Amino acid sequence: MMDIYIQRFLDHLSVERGLSENTIASYGRDLAQFAEFLDKRQIHESRQINEDVLIAFIDHLKKSNYASTSTARKISAVRGFVNFMCAEREIDKSPLTTFETGRPPQRLPKVLDLDELSRLLDAPDIHEDLGLRDKAMFETLYATGLRVSELINLKSDDVNTRMGFLRCIGKGDKERVVPLGEVAAEYITAYSDRVRGRLTGGDRSEYLFLTKNGQPMSRVMFWKIIQKYAAKAGIAKQITPHMLRHSFATHLIERGADLRSVQEMLGHASIATTQIYTHVSRDHLREIYKETHPRA
């Protein structure tokens, strides 16, 4: 059972976070070692993982005489896995709340600049059914900052294009209402009126965005779609679905949006999570200063 949980986490790292194959393989090896450790102790369910188990695992690593960097990497992998299982409601209470395992420094999120973003948003051919669907999905992501999992789980009834808002269920089953811009609303309406009915083939589906076979969109499918359009748009950097969410938040803050509002729209439980986008914004301002100030 633990192998299934680990594979779900590795899929999340690939699709949602866009980590490289080598990084994911490294996570896989470290978590396979953790799974072996759990198996020897007859721990087969995620809810059996508690603070005592994590302490025992770290003690096991220290006794194995791994280099400090290897130990830190293995602990980081386990921390990420446990946090993911908590978010997925497979662990009721995080065993990390009172136990510090040495969290690595938080990396700044990667974002698309306005030119790259425009090229990506304009890449789908809206005269084709799937192109219009893809355009509507991209515009919705950038307009709202939704997670990909939230986007693909949207129901038709969750979106009010006339009033300009949508309702989604985020982490921890928390519901939030997010403003929907006019451009995104326009393309959602066009997709719903012209395309969605043909994709369902007459069958009823509550989900808004569907595959060509009328099934709900999956995270893997969306990842493949955005990779295709990134290549078509000539975007050199490695692109992930989450980059639209990061770009949404960064561009808002660069243009003066207050942190609390961005936090609410993103669905962050803590404003500390949202604050990382202020660092990205400062880097952006620093670059502008260097490029434009005569004595920079």
Question: Could you tell me which residues are beta bridge partners of residue 160?
Answer: 165
pLDDT at 125 (0 to 100): 97
3-state class (DSSP) for residue 6:
helix
In the residue annotation, 245 being an active-site residue is answered as: yes
Domain extent for 30: 2-87
Known catalytic residue at 251: no
3-class DSSP state of 96: coil
d(CA 175, CA 147): 13
Residue 102's alpha-carbon distances to 49, 58, 75, 81, 171, in angstroms, are 18, 11, 8, 15, 24
Question: Could you say which of 70, 87, 104 is where a domain stops?
Answer: 87
- pLDDT for 162: 93
Query: Do 127 and 15 share a structural domain?
Result: no
Would you say 164 and 196 are in contact if contact means Cβ atoms under 8 Å apart? no
Which residues, at least 6 apart from 172, have a Cβ–Cβ distance to it below 8 Å? 87, 89, 269
Which structure tokens are listed for 113?
Answer: 């600049």
> Considering the domain boundaries, does residue 217 fall inside one?
yes
- Beta 159-160 vs 175-179: how paired, if at all? unpaired
Q: Which residue(s) pair with 167 in the sheet?
A: 177
For residue 227, the tally of other CB atoms under 10 A from its CB is 15
The per-residue pLDDT for range 120-134, each reduced to its tens digit, is 999 999 999 999 999
Residue 12 Cα distances to 71, 215, 241, 247, angstroms: 23, 20, 11, 20
Catalytic residue, candidates 171, 176, 232, 279:
171
Inter-residue contact 156 to 207 (CB < 8 Å): yes
42: alpha, beta or left, given left = phi > 0 and alpha = psi -120 to 50? left
Distance CA 9, CA 154 (A): 22
**Confidence at residue 165, expressed as pLDDT on a 0 to 100 scale:** 94
Does the pLDDT value for residue 289 go beyond 60?
A: no
CATH number at residue 233: 1.10.443.10
**Which listed residue (12, 242, 246, 251) is catalytic?**
242
| Confidence band of 136 (pLDDT split at 50, 70, 90) | very high
Check if 242 is active-site: yes
208 and 274 share one domain: yes
Q: In this structure, what CATH number is given to the domain that contains residue 65?
A: 1.10.150.130
Instruction: Give the pTM.
Output: 0.64
Q: Does residue 277 carry a catalytic annotation?
A: yes
- State the catalytic residue, choosing from 12, 196, 245, 246: 245
| 168 and 256 in a common domain | yes
Structure-model confidence comparison of residues 254 and 193, the more confident one: 193
Tally of CB atoms within 10 A around 172: 10
The residue annotated as part of the active site, out of 147, 196, 219, 246, is 147
Q: Which of 74, 135, 196, 268 is catalytic?
A: 268
Q: How confident is the model at residue 286 (pLDDT cuts 50, 70, 90)?
A: low
**Structural contact between residues 74 and 33, judged by C-beta atoms closer than 8 angstroms:** yes
Q: End of a domain among 45, 68, 87? A: 87
What are 6-61's pLDDT values in tens digits? 999 999 888 877 788 888 999 999 999 999 999 888 888 888 888 888 888 888 88
pLDDT digits (tens, 9 = 90+) for 254-285: 888 888 888 889 988 777 778 777 765 566 55
Residues 37 and 129 in one domain: no
Same domain flag for 39 and 137: no
Report the percent of the chain where pLDDT is more than 70. Answer: 90
pLDDT at residue 101, as a whole number? 47
Measure the CA–CA gap between 160 and 50, rounded to whole angstroms. Answer: 43
What pLDDT score does 227 carry?
93
* 9 and 65 together in one domain: yes
Residues comprising the chain, all counted: 296
On whether both 222 and 119 belong to a single domain, the answer is: yes
Number of domains, the chain? 2
